[in-house]
Each structure stands twice: as structure tokens, then as C-alpha cells.
Amino acid sequence: MDLLKRLGLNKYRIDKSSHIQVNLDICRTCVEKPCIKVCPAGTYERSGDVIEVHYERCLECGAALVACPFGAISFRFPEGGVSFRYG
Amino acid sequence: MSFDADVIVVGGGLAGLSAGIVSNREGLSTLVLERGEYSGSKNVSGGRMYVHALKKLVDIQDAPLERPIVRETYLFRCGSKEVTFSFYDPDSRNSYSVLRAKFDPWLAKKAEEEGVLISYETLVYDAVREGGGVTLRTNRGDLRAKLVIEADGVTAGVSRYLGVRRLDPDFLMLGVKEVVRPEVLPEEGEAKVLVGFLNGLLGGGFVYVNKDTLSIGATVKVSSLQKEKVLAREITEDLREKMGIKGEVLEYSAHLIPYYGFDNLPPLYAPNLLVTGDAAGLLINDGFVIRGMDLAIGSGMVAGQAAKKVLESGDATKTQVYEEMLKESFVMKDMMTARRAFQLMNSERLFKTYPDLLCRVMSRMFTVEGERRRLMDVVREELAGYNLTLSQVLRDLIKVM
Ligand SMILES: Cc1cc2nc3c(=O)[nH]c(=O)nc-3n(C[C@H](O)[C@H](O)[C@H](O)COP(=O)(O)OP(=O)(O)OC[C@H]3O[C@@H](n4cnc5c(N)ncnc54)[C@H](O)[C@@H]3O)c2cc1C
Ligand code: SF4
């Protein structure tokens, strides 16, 4: 099943602004972009030298807090965000 | 400076609710802050709960448990080969499959019935120590308490805000999970452990049978995800396919899991702070069984009792008594027993070499080509291929036992 369809099964109350910030100056110097591999929600997508952040997909797993080995990602939990029906 | 409560519990999951219930029973004014719309809305677990601690906390007769786990199955895979073994005990009632979005609201209701105040949709985003207590900054304004019980889960926000600790990918696993309504539902509660299914990632898979769904997922080391070429978002799909599970996918979720082990535990207390559950790294993962929920409940209960002692002493900065009490409880005793399993889990042997080895040995034992070898000889020969000796393997075996 496609990732976006899977995410669509969850209930989201999306905040107006992103709870994830990226320091693009650091991001530009990173070749591997491990955040893309680590995030289970596909929140990070490569966009040229840097990443684009789809914060509305976030499952709030917390991996974003350590996904970037260079500390380019700052993350705080959203006020709304995802709610699970099963857990 | 005035305080909003004697004790503020941050996080309304299992550890937080347990701490709230006990602290309230101890006669302390207690407030629980939960960022989700309801308890359980943000929580994910495999999940199989060992209920011994829960039973000590509340009456579980009407608990929304899914099924008693009566069958344990281990599946080892290497390529197309597979080794399976299973243990069946129809009378076992010591663990149950659970779904947190159902279970946690039930426990929250129990807590509220006893008079525990829970404030939902309350997100703590900073904490500072001041005026003899802790001020918590939340989306609903500042709240102050002499003592904070941290139960905010694996990301341990409060400890981080207070500068007590940092997070490290080497000590964290990522759990990814799907809930599926299968075309064919097994008749009894079962827990399956899957080894060798994750395309080289360090970790394992699981399948739990619920009342009318299956929970299927995996737990993998974050550092191994950073290194390998496998995408986290494809793990559950791949696993479901490999297991041949067909049916409607109902939910996709993910959550970090602490992976510290007794020897690397983060600080369990600081002035004005007691840390419980996942936030304190209190989770046992011996490669076969993940136990976080009963330790969360157990540590929460101890924290509630310790809160009383700390506040009675008149000095809320003297929180060490909590660690002393934890050491006396099953929580620390079991963490201690499992300490060597964590050492082994940090090596690749458990996830890669042993499943391979098992398949090769089995494969040779079941292949008859004229000359029949003794099992021990086959094992020795295969071990040599991995530069391992029998005594090393035995030592490892003893570690996980
Ligand atoms: C995939 C997976 C499989 C697992 N399998 C098992 C299993 O089979 N058996 C088992 O026993 N354990 C299992 N675990 C582990 C188990 O889920 C945890 O150990 C347990 O949930 C820990 O409970 P807790 O109360 O400490 O934390 P949590 O359950 O994470 O609760 C923390 C609570 O705090 C809230 N919170 C967080 N931050 C804030 C904030 N800043 N402000 C306000 N509220 C906040 C959250 O919304 C949440 O409700 C598994 C975990 C995962 C992810
Ligand atoms: S918290 Fe998890 S789901 Fe959200 S962006 Fe970070 S890694 Fe992705």
C-alpha cells in the first residue's frame, strides 16, 4: 500500500505552521541525507542539495530528534498532529 | 512562589497514569498533563502486555485487553530458508495483546474516577527550575510544582529541557507498525517473533494476534537505519508481504523505543524530578521479548510513592530515594537480570550471524547425501566459517537466557 494512503488512514489535526525546522546551510553540506531513510512517514524528500519537509505527514515517532547526525533538524511536537485509533 | 499542585506528572501514558493514581492515593494534589486529545491517542506499542504490575495497580476485570497470549512462535529466516519453533500453553494468562488507543483511555478513566486531574491537549514545551520547584511551560500557560514526575516517553522532553540528558541514536530503536484486519484470523492469542526479515537492518519483527485484528511491525536500531540503504517507510509493507498476510490495513504508526540497558541508563532523578517509564530508559529488549509497558506501570507506581517521601522530607530537591525504591522493585531487578542480553543485542551476531547459522545447520541436518554427520560436528564446522567457537556461542546463549 502506498505510503500516502497508509498515512491517510490516521487522523490528523495539522498545525498552521511547521513543527520541524531545517538549517539549510548545514543541510546543503550533507551528501547522504540519512533523515530520508530514518523517517517512517516520508516527511523528508530530497530537493536539489537540500531537503523539503512535509511536516503534515509526521507520525511524531520522535526519530527526527536524532535522525540528522549534524543537528540540522530542530523538532518539537506539534500542538495538534496525529491521533491513533488503534495504537 | 505558589504552586499549582504538589506533583505534576508530564505525560498521560501508562507510566504517567500509574504515577498519577498512586500519588493521588498518597494524598498529594496531583495534576497529569497529556498532549494528546485523549490518553493513548499518541501512543504506540507492539503490543503485548505482561499484566502483573497492572493487577497491583487496579482491578483489571473490565480492562480492554485483546487476547491472552497462549502461543509463542519464533521464526528465523535466511534467504528462502526458514526455521520455526513454537511453544503453546492454553492456560497462560500472564500476558495479553493490547491496543493502546483503547487501553490507555480505560486506565485514564480509572484514574479520573479516583479523583486524578488530567489536562488533555496540554503540551509541555519547556521546563525551568526556579523558586524551589519546577515551572513547566505549556501551550496553556505556565504551571508550577514542587515535584515533577516525568512520564513523557522515550523522547524525555522534561529531562532535556532541564539539561539532564541528551538523546543518542545508538540507544534508540524505531518501531513501525501496521494494524491489519486479516482475511483469516487465528483462533488464539499468539506472539510471533521474526528474526532475519529486515534486509540487514539490526532489529526484529513481530506479529501479535488481537481480538479481530493483527498487529504487525518491526523494531530497528536507529543507527542502523542511518547506515543501511533500507527505507524505514517500506519496512512494514515488506514484512507484511514476506509473511503473506492479506487483509485490510487499518492503521500505520511509528514510535521510538528506548534501548539503553541497565549499564547505560540515563539519570532516573534530578532535583525536583523523578523520571519514569520510557523517559527513564526502563525497557527490556532481550532480542525476543520487548517489555516496556509493565516497567512503565511499575516505575510510575514507585514514583508516586517516592513523591510522597520526597515531599514529606520537606526538601523536594532530595529525590534520590526514588532510585533506592526502584532498586527494591521488580523494575530494576529485571533490568539488572537483562543487562547482559543488551550487550549481546548490540553486536551483529544476534541479528545476522545466528539466524544464518541456524538455517545452515538445519539445512545440512535435513539434507541426506549418503554420509550422515553428527549434529555437533556440523555445528562446529559451520561455526568455523563464522570465526566463532562453540564456547563463544554458549556464552552468548547464556546471556539471553
Ligand atoms: C513498535 C513498538 C512495539 C512495542 N512492543 C511492546 C510490547 O510488545 N510489550 C511492551 O511491554 N512494550 C512494548 N513497547 C514499548 C512500550 O510501548 C513502552 O515501553 C511504553 O509505552 C512506555 O510507556 P510510557 O508511559 O513510559 O510512555 P508512553 O506510552 O510513550 O507515554 C508518554 C505519554 O506522554 C505524552 N507526552 C509526551 N511528550 C509530552 C509533552 N511534551 N507534553 C505532554 N505530554 C507529553 C505522550 O502523548 C504519551 O501519552 C513497544 C513499543 C513500540 C514503539
Ligand atoms: S518525528 Fe518521526 S515521523 Fe515525524 S518527521 Fe521525525 S522521523 Fe518523521
* Tens digits of residue pLDDT in B38-71: 999 999 998 899 999 999 999 999 999 999 999 9
Domain edge (last residue) among B305, B328, B351: B328
B200 Cα to the center of ligand 1, angstroms: 26
Q: Hey, which residues does A74 pair with through a beta bridge?
A: A21
**Grid coordinates given for A23:** 538549517
Last residue of a domain, one of B263, B290, B311: B263
Q: Which residue of A has its CA nearest to B47?
A: A87
Kindly state the helix (H) or strand (E) to which residue B329 belongs, with its residue range. Answer: none
Per-chain mean pLDDT for chain B:
93
Q: What is the pLDDT of residue B384?
A: 87
3-state secondary structure of A3: helix
Residue B337 lies in a domain: no
Instruction: Report the residue of chain B nearest A10, measured CA to CA.
Output: B251
- The answer on pLDDT for B116 being more than 90 is yes
> In this complex, do A87 and B43 lie within 8 Å of one another by their Cβ atoms?
yes
Give the integer Cα–Cα distance in Å for A43 and A27: 15
pLDDT digits (tens, 9 = 90+) for B213-230: 999 999 999 999 999 889
Question: Cβ contacts of residue B295 below 8 Å, gap of 6+?
Answer: B53, B277, B282, B283, B284, B331, B334, B335
Q: How far A51 CA sits from the closest chain B CA (Å)?
A: 16
Q: Quick check: is B336 in a domain?
A: no
Same domain for B70 and B59: no
Containing H/E element for B272? none
Tens of pLDDT, residues B147-192? 999 999 999 999 999 999 999 999 999 999 999 999 999 999 999 9
Burial of B53 (0-12, 13-18, 19+ CB in 10 A): buried
Residue B287: its pLDDT value, please? Answer: 65
pLDDT score of B401: 63
On whether the CB atoms of residues A42 and A58 are closer than 8 A, the answer is no
- 87 residues of chain A, pLDDT tens digit each: 899 999 999 999 999 999 999 999 999 999 999 999 999 999 999 999 999 999 999 999 999 999 999 999 999 999 999 999 999
* ipTM topping 0.90: yes
Give domain status of residue B33, yes or no.
Answer: yes
Q: What number is the average pLDDT over the span B361-376?
A: 78
**Ligand 1 pocket: which residues have CB below 6 Å?**
A 77; B 10-16, 33-36, 42-49, 123-124, 151-153, 157, 175, 177, 217, 219, 255, 257, 277-279, 283, 290-294, 296
B173 contacts B138 by C-beta, under 8 angstroms: no
Tell me if B334 is assigned to some domain: no
B211 lies in the same domain as B303 = no
pLDDT of residue B297: 98
More confident residue, B375 or B142: B142
**B333 within some domain:** no
CB contact under 8 A, A40 and B233: yes
Distance (Å) from CA A39 to ligand 2 centroid: 5
Nearest residue, CB atoms, A38 vs list B42, B104, B225: B225
Q: What is the largest CA-CA distance in chain A?
A: 40
pLDDT score recorded for residue B361: 83
Contacts of A44 in chain B (CB under 8 A): none
Domain end point (choices B246, B263, B280): B263
Rounded to whole angstroms, the Cα distance separating B236 from B65 reads 24
For position B228, what pLDDT does the model report? 87
Distance A41 CA to ligand 2 centre (A): 6
Average pLDDT over residues B75-92: 90
**Complete DSSP assignment for B238-272:** HHHHHHT--EEEEEEEEEEEE---GGGPPPSEETT
- Give the pLDDT of residue B346: 67
Kindly report the nearest CA distance between residue A71 and chain B, in angstroms: 12
Q: Are residues B139 and B185 in the same domain?
A: no
Confidence of residue B379 (pLDDT cuts 50, 70, 90): confident
Mind listing the pLDDT tens digit for each residue in B180-199? 999 999 999 999 999 889 99
Q: Grid coordinates in use for A24?
A: 539549510
Whether B148 and B275 share a structural domain: yes
Residue B190 burial (CB count, 10 A):
20
Pair B33, B91: CB distance under 8 Å: no
% of chain B beyond a pLDDT of 70: 98
For residue A86, CA distances in Å to A52, B66, B291 come to 30, 11, 19
Residues B127-139 have a mean pLDDT of: 96
Residues A37, A51 contacting (CB under 8 angstroms): no
Chain B: give the shortest CA distance to residue A41, in Å: 6
Q: Does B35 lie in the same domain as B14?
A: yes
Sign of the alpha-carbon torsion through B346, B351, B356, B358:
positive
Average pLDDT, integer, range B236-265: 96
Q: Which helix (H) or strand (E) holds B163?
A: none
> Is-contact B276 B282, C-beta < 8 A?
yes
Domain contains B122? yes
Task: State whether B223 and B193 are in the same domain.
Answer: yes
Same domain, B113 and B180: no
Residue B10 pLDDT > 90, yes or no? yes
CA separation for the pair B346, B44 (Å, rounded): 24
Check whether the bond before A71 is cis (ω within 30° of 0): no
Which residue would you say has higher pLDDT here, B349 or B26?
B26
Q: Against a cut of 0.80, is the pTM above it?
A: yes
Give chain B's domain count: 3
Domain A3-79 has CATH 3.30.70.20: yes
* Per-residue confidence (pLDDT) for residue B388, from 0 to 100: 84
- Is B70 part of a structural domain of the chain? yes
B388: helix, coil or strand?
coil
Looking at per-residue pLDDT, the higher value among B345 and B386 belongs to B386
Q: Are residues B225 and B289 in the same domain?
A: no
- β-strands B189-195, B203-209: how paired? antiparallel
Average pLDDT rounded to a whole number, residues B126-148: 97
- Which among A38, A66, A85 is the nearest to B251, CB-wise? A85
Indicate whether B371 pLDDT > 90.
no
> What's the first-to-final CA gap in chain A, in angstroms?
19
Distance B277 CA to ligand 1 centre (A): 8
Range of B362's domain?
Answer: 343-399
Q: According to the model, what pLDDT value does residue B1 have?
A: 65
Q: How far is the CA of B284 from the centre of ligand 1 (A)?
A: 13
What is the per-residue pLDDT for A20?
97
B276 falls within a domain: yes
User: What is the enclosing helix (H) or strand (E) of B74?
Assistant: strand B69-78
pLDDT of residue A28: 97
B57 shares a domain with B71? no
The C-alpha cell that represents B257 in the structure block:
523505543
Residue A6, C-alpha cell as written in the block? 497508509
Q: With beta carbons less than 8 A apart as the criterion, state whether B2 and B13 touch.
A: no
Same structural domain, B53 and B70:
no
CA-only gyration radius of chain A, Å: 13
Q: A40: which chain B residues are within 8 Å (Cβ-Cβ)?
A: 174, 176, 232-233, 235, 254
Identify the DSSP state of B395: H
Same domain, yes or no, for B289 and B315? yes
Question: What percent of chain B has a predicted confidence (pLDDT) above 90?
Answer: 76
Q: How confident is the model at residue B400 (pLDDT cuts 50, 70, 90)?
A: low
Give the model confidence (pLDDT) of B281-300 as tens digits: 999 987 667 999 999 999 99
In angstroms, what separates the C-alpha of B251 from chain A's closest C-alpha?
Answer: 6
Contact criterion met (CB < 8 Å) for A37 and B225: yes
Q: Which pLDDT does position B374 carry in this prediction?
A: 81
CATH code at position B273: 3.50.50.60
Helix, strand counts (H, E) of chain B: 14, 19
Whether B241 and B315 share a structural domain: no
Q: What is the mean pLDDT of residues B118-129?
A: 98
- The confidence score (pLDDT) of residue A68 equals 95
pLDDT one-digit tens code per residue, B295-323: 999 999 999 999 999 999 999 999 999 99
Q: What is the pLDDT of residue B33?
A: 98
